[in-house]
Structure 1
Amino acid sequence: MPIRRRLEGRTIAALAADGFEKVELVVPLRTLQAAGAEVHVVSLRRGRIRGVNLHVPASRVRVDRTVEQADPGDYDGLLLPGGFINPDLLRQSAAAREFVRAFAASGKPIATLCHGPWVLASAGLLDGRTLTSWPGIRDDLVYAGATWLDQDLVRDGNLTTSRGPQDMAAFVRGMLDAFAATAPEPARAAPRRASDPQPEAPVGWAVGALRWSPKPSAAALMGVGLAAAVQRTLNGPDARTRRSRAAGRTGGRPRPRWLPAAP
């Protein structure tokens, strides 16, 4: 089937936060749209989230839904890009972890690469699964119960994974195949096998790129300092008192609208 029609009628959630690796969100997103899918960028906050190229700030992407607003039942699949910062923020969010668990529970396809599987580990979804990732998080995934393979693409039930941007061609093909499936593929525990060994050295091209990346500008450093000062103000004693009082009036943090009320 031509790529422009493969995913016609499908809706995909791309779960990302600030610090996403630009190529790992933008390339899959555009490919999905070219294949006919509707893609919603789901994030922890409204507005536009900032991408990165390794650690250098890149362009922003508009958020379509916050994770509290988005209902997993409205989507046919989940894309989880990587980057160093993005999945670290997502894995700390209870709402994001619940969002990911809902896709796993329904057997809907999940496609992720690079550091993206960190989120799956924190959501408790990797015990008995087989996958790949950025080599630097291999041990995290193994300790979470997964079998880790040093391959450009690994398919295990509803889970499709790649190591990083260097595997983008294989990842895009595997992602399209997974999202084009006509029926949910249940998560399964693959037969146990030994994980591939730990890497003996960091990925060479990434180290080289970091070595030759530009120095931070004075404006960037001032921006970081200003952001830190604002955050300290927001988290100060007065702010905590106001939040405590507000929580007392509302009964705590608002529940994502798609989660059932507690009995």
Structure 2
Amino acid sequence: MAQRLEGKTIAVLATDGFEQVELTKPVEALKEAGATVEIVSDKSGAIQGFNHFDKGQTVQVDRTLSDADAGRYDGLVLPGGAHNPDTLRINQQARDFVRAFFTQNKPVAAICHAPWILIDAGVAEGRRMTSYKTIRKDLENAGAEVVDEQVVVDDGLVTSRDPDDLPAFCAKMIEEFAEGRHSQGRSAGRGETPSAPH
């Protein structure tokens, strides 16, 4: 039923403190659909996952941000967890990496707290999105249209609220990645505007 993603390479941007199932389930779904998946991080080696407040498994990093080029990927996944996106949102390389996917009109999927990164990357304004309930006001303040739905798709951007939404999130993520670039130009305009460092 799911579209096949053979020949596509997807980046998963995460660091210590990611919510484990929000990384492992999308990666599993992507690989089952035939995609090549690379874990990109602000550090090399392994990153620590969490099951809410408890330490979970570690995941091996495939490529550091300093060596990552958005141009070589067909899509981007941003897992949640409170600490993970809070660390990445203040990292200039992470913000630039994320913003490049919007500039290049490539699909992006973000779940739970991950839309925090989109706020700091300057790409949330004008977007219809959802997120974990505690950061919805942040999204509204950044100019996003925030709704309480299990999965929201807006011009190549897929967002969901929490791990309970993972089945719907993964299905829409694969659908958007299979579709590929979104050529409306809407994403590009928003991605290029906030080019100056924050």
Same amino acid, percent of matched pairs? 49
**What is the count of residue pairs matched by the alignment?**
187
CA distance in 1, matches of 2:184, 2:102: 8
- Cα distance 1:165–1:93, how it changes in 2: closer, same or farther (>3 A)? same
CA deviation string 1:159-200 (max 9, x = no partner): 1000010111110111010100044344638xxxxxxxxxxx
The residue number in structure 1 matching 2:152 is 154
TM-score (norm 1): 0.69
CA deviation string 1:39-82 (max 9, x = no partner): 00000000000000011110100000001101100000000000
* 1:35 maps to 2:24: no
CA deviation string 1:198-231 (max 9, x = no partner): xxxxxxxxxxxxxxxxxxxxxxxxxxxxxxxxxx
- Cα distance 1:170–1:61, how it changes in 2: closer, same or farther (>3 A)? same
Q: Which stretch of the first structure deviates more once superposed, 98-107 or 174-183?
A: 174-183
The residue number in structure 2 matching 1:235 is none
The residue number in structure 2 matching 1:44 is 42
Kindly name which structure, 1 or 2, has the bigger radius of gyration based on alpha carbons.
Answer: 1
- Cα distance 1:186–1:101, how it changes in 2: closer, same or farther (>3 A)? farther
SS at match of 2:25: helix
Q: Which amino acid aligns with 1:28?
A: P
- Cα distance 1:116–1:182, how it changes in 2: closer, same or farther (>3 A)? closer
Map of 1:20-169 to 2, 5 A cutoff? 20-169=18-167
Which aligned segments of 4 or more residues in structure 1 are displaced greater than 2 angstroms? 182-189
Contact 1:129 1:188 in 2 (8 A): no
TM-score (norm 2): 0.91
Name the one with the larger strand percent: 2
Whose RCO is larger (CA < 8 A, sep 6+)? 2
SS at match of 1:18: coil
Contact 1:113 1:164 in 2 (8 A): yes
